[in-house]
Structure 1
């Protein structure tokens, strides 16, 4: 078993956690083991139902903003358990449900459930759906069993894949009053251990849909009468390819020509491209995007075409609060460090993975954490590959997801119960956001 743990101080005793050791080395650990036992029991109680929900969502992939079956399955289950489910008129596949005991802090959870075009749940959102749901049920069980005051809230967040659903829901008030928020996301597991996870940043992102319009003409009889929109598209593509050598190594600019014309003997009067710009920070994005836009506009000028550009919702880089990430890692090692097959949890707060998420925006608005957990997949299968779809639908992957669900629920219980820990979450986020402003 391994744990790459940052040497941050324990919020109980103030003693640093040495890197690479288990959480048990802290004199005050584990925090509230009785609550952890309750969490495990609750997840065991709902195991078959959570697995069935995951399987159903996996077998019925739906694209962003159209997740009607997933929404119905999740909300009908919650209603059947006696919860009042709140909807959003403008976002019919979103939902929100809360459970409260007395007064206290509010801990938020997220469930995603949209799929990818053509390859289904190749990002494992069926598992994200039940990790959020499972943690909600487990925290509620702990609140009841141990008389814990506060509120746990689960938000059903559609349209992560290209729709920035969480950003829309934040603007609709879904996150109002939440003091800290978490979610889990599957990725390819490590080959040498069975259970793995990492807490890592993600890229900021801006997407573009670009359209060029020219003038059609017969390509053989009178090509000079046309204005070639394909020339504009290829010029833009080439210009951006040349621009890459002037960009920092951590910048990604990716694009495709989605419409290049329909016949070789006709000068194309319309072409279209789709591009994504990713950078390490949103601030870096603000300086990179204008350079890419200049390529689009310059191509229009040189070809004589007109250009129109539609931008997607900007996604901020993911910023994990270290107090939440540290607690997740230590709980994972304490609960599952001795599990068969080995356990490895990595805390990589200063590193960036090559993906982006709308949860990044949420972490700039309130304290959050987004651990990635490993699932068994075919060799070489990563997120957004067809082979990952199969891995995300296996019972072994569901079982791994429930381990991390238990850890996330334990973090939530501590946030509700432990004022010192909750203060460290808030202070850590405030300090981090001040640093972000000055980067």
Structure 2
């Protein structure tokens, strides 16, 4: 505890109850984390870890839904009621993740993520149980992973986070970042189609899609000087033909786009679209653009959640060692943060071993990692108590969440013109096939897109607001907007994010 004082002298009554409950069960929490670490379940195959956590929570009177929303290794465990006597009460959510990244084991410490979530929930449980009046409920969401890293996006789309008012989670690391910014990411496949003949037969009637692919690659290389230093565009040619004497009917490439803000990601996408369009025009080809996977959004973090965590973590004795504020790799929880006020933070777990390494995997399975796990669980529990017992704090969080949504996902015409006029830019829709005609069909900078396609390229739909029940309690519902760009995703390492030169193809 801070300043070495007795906990009972500096904690409120509710926080003292939570603190005591965690202290009494910390040994069993340690064993839970060790069991998950030993299970070594890879993404999408977390049956053993899932069963371990579910059995642990059922013994402690949590109502558990297994195979949640059709996900075989996801669960939802709740305690308390968020509706009582016609009145609505907050539902505090803690996120559980228990898969391993790869054969290296828990090199990202997901076994401790689960232990922290369970610790926080066990602290909040007796506060809810012994409250004289209903004050709300606590829920643990067990997240199933997948190799693409889009597990939480799929769970969000399935409605797994409905009814959650706040979502809190803490991930172990070799650094501390209480307000990480997750970069937005999408991946597009571009296919150029031409007219094929054998190379020696009437070449003037040929439209070579390989030429268009090479030109597009060169166009992007030439335009990189106009990129923001935090933008990333990396590409690879997927198909360039199979025979030297035969021009292929089509050629394709894939590009990964990343930017720290949604509007910047759109500008980057528009710049690359012009590169593809120009290449297709020059080669006399048609082209189409499609997303290859789901898009990773940029996260939205209410400052009030960061302040509550920082205050309570300091109260529990956390020193915020090796604090960083660097841009983080894309993360599927960022998509969840656009629907539910969410705080995902990284805490210094007590080791210099780098996150994602074999050394870090060994550390999170040792007893040395257990102390900081309990500290973080206590901090999240205390933070949850501050929220669940104060309408004013909840209102502040909801209002800030809506403000951040409007700021990040506002109307497209709010994009600052950094390199090109907006009239020259088009947004690529994942379901729209864009066909380029011959050069004489193009007037100025206009692209021959029919009216139906232009309707698809509008400003987008409204973003969902934070939990409905929460809005009715605090009357903070506001309009927000969602970008209309297509969804895409791709794998990317943290080391590549931190490289000073992010412009290599």
Instruction: Report if the CA contact (8 A) 1:204-1:315 is conserved.
Output: yes
Aligned to 1:165: 151
2:376 aligned residue (394, 399, 404): 404
Partner SS for 1:199 = coil
* Aligned match of 1:354: 328
Cα pair distance change 1:160/1:395, threshold 3 Å: farther
1:240 alignment partner in structure 2: 220
Deviations 1:257-289 (A, max 9, x none): 567788999988887655432212112222222
Do residues 374 (structure 1) and 364 (structure 2) align?
Answer: no
Instruction: State the distance in 2 between where 1:260 and 1:401 align.
Output: 51
**CA deviation after TM superposition for structure 1 residue 40, in Å:** 3.1
Partner of 2:51: 72
> Tell me, what secondary structure is at the counterpart of 2:178?
strand
Q: 1:435 to 1:229 in 2, by over 3 A?
A: closer
Of 231, 234, 238, 1:254 maps to 234
- TM (normalized to structure 1)? 0.73
Q: In proportion to residue count, which structure has more strand? A: 1
Structure 1 residue 229, shift from structure 2 partner = 7.2
Pair 1:40 & 2:22 matched: yes
- Match of residue 11 from structure 1: none
Query: Could you tell me how far 1:428 is from its partner in structure 2?
Result: 2.7
Shift, 1:331, TM fit = 1.1
Correspondence 1:39-438 to 2 at 5 A: 39-41=21-23, 43-57=25-39, 59-62=40-43, 65-86=44-65, 87-101=67-81, 103=84, 104-117=89-102, 119-145=104-130, 149-159=135-145, 162-189=148-175, 196-210=176-190, 235-256=215-236, 273-296=253-276, 309-337=290-318, 343-344=320-321, 353-377=327-351, 381-383=354-356, 388-436=360-408, 437=410
The Cα shift of 1:29 comes to 6.6
Show CA shifts across 1:341-366 (max 9, x none).
Answer: x54485x8xx6513122222222223
Instruction: Tell me: CA distance 1:217–1:393, structure 2 relative to 1, closer, same or farther (3 Å).
Output: farther
Question: Whole-Å Cα distance in 1 between the matches of residues 233 and 239 of structure 2?
Answer: 19
Number of equivalences: 397
In 2: Cα distance, 1:168 partner to 1:428 partner: 26
Deviates more, 1:264-273 or 1:165-174: 264-273
Judged with a 3 Å threshold, the aligned counterparts in structure 2 of structure 1 residues 74 and 171 are, in CA distance, closer, same or farther, namely same
How far has the Cα of 1:127 moved from its partner? 2.6
For residues 399 and 211 of structure 1, the distance between their equivalents in structure 2, rounded to whole angstroms, comes to: 53
Shift of 1:152: 0.8
Q: Secondary structure at the match of 2:291?
A: strand
Please give the alpha-carbon distance, in whole angstroms, between the structure 2 residues aligned to 1:272 and 1:186: 40
Structure-2 separation of matches of 1:214 and 1:135: 59
Q: Could you give the per-residue CA deviations for residues 362-398 of structure 1, whole angstroms, max 9, x where no partner exists?
A: 222232212211235555x344x55544444444334
Check the 8 A contact 2:180/2:328 in 1, yes or no: no
Per the alignment, residue 456 of structure 2 pairs with: none
Could you list the per-position Cα deviations for residues 114-147 of structure 1 after superposition, in whole angstroms to 9, with x for gaps in the alignment? 4435655443333323322332233224333555
SS at 2:294 equivalent: coil
Instruction: Please give the secondary structure, in 2, of the residue aligned with 1:278.
Output: strand
Structure 1, unmatched stretches of 5+, are 2-20, 190-195
Q: In 1, distance between residues paired with 2:306 and 2:70?
A: 33
Decide whether aligned partners of structure 1 residues 116 and 55 sit closer, same or farther in structure 2, where only a CA change above 3 A counts: closer
Residue 231 (structure 1) shift: 6.2
Q: Give 5+ residue unaligned stretches, structure 2.
A: 415-505
Give the greater-gyration-radius structure (CA).
2
Q: TM-score, normalised by structure 2?
A: 0.65
Compared CA separation, residues 199 and 425, structure 1 to 2 (3 A): same
- Write out per-residue CA displacement over residues 63-116 of structure 1, whole angstroms, 9 at most, x where no aligned residue: xx4444433333343345443322335432322121115742111111223443
Q: 1:369 & 1:390 partners in 2: Cα distance?
A: 27
Larger RCO (alpha carbons 8 Å, 6+ apart): 1
